Amino acid sequence: MMLNIKSHTFIGHALKGIRKAYAVAFVVFALLLSIPSMAQQTMNLDSVLQKISRNNPMLQEYDLRAQAMDAYAEGAKSLMAPMVGAGVFQSPYPGSEVMEPQDKGMLMFSAEQDIANPAKLRAREKYMKSKAANETVGRSVTFNELRAQAKATYYTWVVLEKKMAVLKDNEHIMAYMLKLAKIRYPYSQGNLGSVYKAEARLHEVENMQLMTASQIAQQNVQLNILMNQPQDNRFKIDTLIELPDNILLAVDTAFLSGVRSDVRQMDTTIESMRLNTELEQLERKPDFRLRFDHMLPRSNMMPNQFTAMAMMSIPIAPWASKMYKANTKGMNLEIAGMQKQRESMLNEAQGMVRNMALKLNAKREQTENYRTKIIPALQKNYDVTMLAYEQNSAELPMVIDAWEALNMGQMEYINNLQELYLMVVNYEKEIEK
């Protein structure tokens, strides 16, 4: 009997040492996480999204590309550089016999300028500006992706904070049960196995707190990356986020075509292709060229002479018109194909949004049931069992079972809450909200 008591005492001291080690490790980990956050600021979701829009390098790339297209458009109406030249005109070959002074030939100076059709220049400028608009809409498409990532990360952080609060409450509950069990054991009001079971549950809660704290730090780093901030920048978030309201199912394609950036990008692409088609059709219009030649005779008996010419291309010639006609036909077919793709995209998006709304409303009701019905019932069960244990009418395993049921319900609520938030993110991504 003495050996059993000594072994139990030894096991108790060992478990107490393990518990202290876990506590020390948790405190050290918490201190390490809090070192760079002595003066943490609280950032709400809108502030995070504004910083992403302003500082994210991917979005800045689109801004610069749009500016580049605007710069190209500024030079779209420029003419070709003029050509100048100098040489001889009607000069005899060296060694030839010159019978008359006028046969010595002339020195010739030339100037030539190509003049593109003004309609072509205006069409080219419009086409380049449309490409700048396409880059701007492309920025909106990328920002929608980044915004969805930021929302998912932010909401995950909110859920983890709620989970950490539940784990801290569980830690207090298990510490209290363990304290009662240790007080009652010497008076034969409990068994040693129940003490060990309560202590193991306490360590499990501490382990879950460590894992949750690490996941919170990961969300912090992810948001810093999206905002293009130092990855060790620590800040707090606003956890007061209400559950979303029920979502209306009636979303038509007209609404989606006005809000979705990928549809607007397709519209700008079609418009850009249409302007390029107009530019190609203008190849049927003629271009112009001016040329002036000045001849300076090598004989004083000959007067100075000049040649002035105005030339015009004839693009309607059959052997020349075939190319721009074929190009125009091909571009029109591509535009028709993209319009069909746009129609298919809107129909698919409409169906997807409706299905997502149905799932989201069901998940919201399920989550609300956990919060208002399931968890309160499990809490009452735990309270009643705990009260019976305090009055010596229940055993510790019954209390632990009631706590585990409550804890499982709370964790299931948190998991459903996270799924609900992620479904909201995906829904808002589809309707560009």
List the chain pLDDT tens, one digit each, 433 residues: 333 433 344 344 444 554 554 454 444 444 444 444 445 788 899 999 999 999 999 999 999 999 999 998 888 888 889 999 999 888 888 877 777 777 788 899 999 999 999 999 999 999 999 999 999 999 999 999 999 999 999 999 999 999 999 999 988 888 887 787 777 666 555 566 667 877 888 888 899 999 999 999 999 999 999 999 998 899 999 888 877 777 766 678 888 888 888 899 999 999 999 999 999 999 899 999 999 999 988 877 788 888 999 999 898 888 888 898 999 999 999 999 999 999 999 999 888 888 988 999 999 999 999 999 999 999 999 899 888 888 877 787 888 888 889 999 999 999 999 999 999 999 989 888 7
pLDDT at 431: 87
pTM higher than 0.85: no
pLDDT value of residue 182: 78
* Site of tokens 């229940």: 394
**pLDDT the model gives residue 273:** 93
- Give the model's pLDDT for residue 187: 55
CATH for 19-91+102-430 (3.40.190.10, 2.40.50.140, 1.20.1600.10, 1.20.1560.10): 1.20.1600.10
Q: How far is CA 118 from CA 30, 266, 282, in A?
A: 71, 29, 10
Q: How are strands ordered across the β-sheet holding 106-115?
A: 83-89, 106-115, 288-297, 305-312
pLDDT given at position 422? 92
Cβ burial 254-275 (10 Å sphere, 16+ → b, else e): eebbeebbbbbbbbbbbbbbeb
